[in-house]
Structure 1
Amino acid sequence: MTSVLFVPLLLIGCSSTPLGPYGYTDHYLERSSTATQDAVLPDDETLSRFISFYNPLDQDQIANSMDKIYAEDLYFNDTLVTLLERNALQEHLLATAERLRQMSLQPVNVIRDDNQIYLVWVMEARFSLLGRERLSRTIGISQLRFNRNGQVFFHQDFWDSSQGLDQHLPLLGPMTRWLRDH
């Protein structure tokens, strides 16, 4: 009986198109177009400081360096969450670091384009799930804009969470692997 009700609801949900705005795409386009005039290319020391902040992601590092790395008002999206202020980002990163055994970011390439940086990276995250140690290894790109104080005020990550974290989750993992294969 339950399946008789569930199937029509599932079909209705799949057939409808949500009304905008479409999540982070609209936020990204809005912030991306307004955030160009204030951006400056960082020097190598500033970029190295940013990379070190995430390598490894550590609660002490977050607590002690957050105001040096990120501007108070910002746009941050890591495909999992969109945040618009440094305090919210700090809370998010502290919670992330607490859930992980270890996370590191290895730069692969740095592309300087006008007033922004595209940082190509490989991220490794170790965490426990259902009593088992897991390793997530994925590649991504961060689009970064820095202000005159060397702080990031625009940070957009482009990476496939289904290749990274989602594939390890119960119920969701098998479904994302199946969808990827089909």
Structure 2
Amino acid sequence: MKTALALTILALASALAGCSSNPAGPYGYTSAYLEERSRCVGSSMPDTEHVQRFIRFYDQLKEGQIDSQIPLIYAEELYFNDTLITLHDRAALQSHLQGTAERLDRMSVTLLDVLQPSPLGNPGDSHQAQATFLVWEMEAQFSLLGKDRLSHTLGISQLCFNDKGQVTFHQDFWDSSQGLDQHLPLLGPPTRWLRKHSDTP
């Protein structure tokens, strides 16, 4: 009995030790975000056309337009994180968006608001002073396990632009549990249960 208990404790300790290492990929983007904010230093404030061009690009995202439009939207070297993946160059982002468009039946993005830096923020934060925040509504329709799924979410994109109007820094703040996780076979039921009960007074 004592031997079995000791083995169980050893197995748990080994599992916890494995979990203590720094996670890679989407779960570790906080440190990358804080490091990459320096890209915003010296950025240019976008004009209305730059913002509208960005929204048009993602609204009705289609495979055919990505190759021709992405050089206008994004700089060659960049930071991009949509809470699911972190990328650092335009070619990788182009491939990511092509794969996303292939899996979507339909997508629409509507701009709700444009937020500029506020005096209430940290006056010494030069990174924040150069950023623009877009508040958006997104609908995406896709097929999963032979069934049509509809995702309807809200999000915010923090953007920094160069003097050519290209995005050099793109961080999305988006609830993937509402947009994606609830449709997955294993994560869906507990995600919907937690959301239902957390919304109940």
TM-score over 0.5 for the alignment?
yes
Residue of structure 2 in register with 1:155 after alignment: 170
Fraction of identical pairs, as percent: 56
Question: In 2, distance between residues paired with 1:66 and 1:175?
Answer: 37
Residue of structure 2 in register with 1:95 after alignment: 99
- 1:58 is displaced (CA, Å) by 1.0
Among 19, 39, 43, the residue aligned to 2:21: 19
Residue of structure 2 in register with 1:59 after alignment: 63
Residue 11 to residue 96, structure 1, CA distance change in 2 (3 Å): farther
Q: Contact between 2:79 and 2:169, CA under 8 Å: does it hold in 1? A: yes
Residues 106-148 of structure 1 deviation map (CA, whole Å, 9 limit, x = unaligned): 1111002232210011111000112211100011100000000
Residue of structure 2 in register with 1:31 after alignment: 36
Residue of structure 2 in register with 1:140 after alignment: 155
Residue 10 to residue 94, structure 1, CA distance change in 2 (3 Å): farther
Q: RMSD in angstroms over aligned alpha carbons? A: 2.4
Residue 92 to residue 12, structure 1, CA distance change in 2 (3 Å): same
Unaligned runs of 5+ in 2: 1-6, 118-128
Among 128, 136, 158, the residue aligned to 2:143: 128
Say whether residues 1:105 and 2:109 are aligned partners.
yes
Question: In 2, distance between residues paired with 1:77 and 1:159?
Answer: 11
The more displaced of 129-138 and 154-163 is 129-138
Unaligned runs of 5+ in 1: none
- 1:178 is displaced (CA, Å) by 3.6
- 1:19 is displaced (CA, Å) by 3.5
**Greater C-alpha Rg:** 2
- 1:71 is displaced (CA, Å) by 0.4
TM-score (norm. length: structure 2): 0.80
* Aligned amino acid, residue 95 of structure 2: E
Question: In 1, distance between residues paired with 2:13 and 2:113?
Answer: 44
Alignment length (residue pairs): 176
SS for the counterpart of 1:29 is helix
TM-score (norm. length: structure 1): 0.87
Residues 42-84 of structure 1 deviation map (CA, whole Å, 9 limit, x = unaligned): 1101111111000111111211101000000000000000000
- 1:176 is displaced (CA, Å) by 2.5
Q: Contact between 2:40 and 2:169, CA under 8 Å: does it hold in 1? A: no
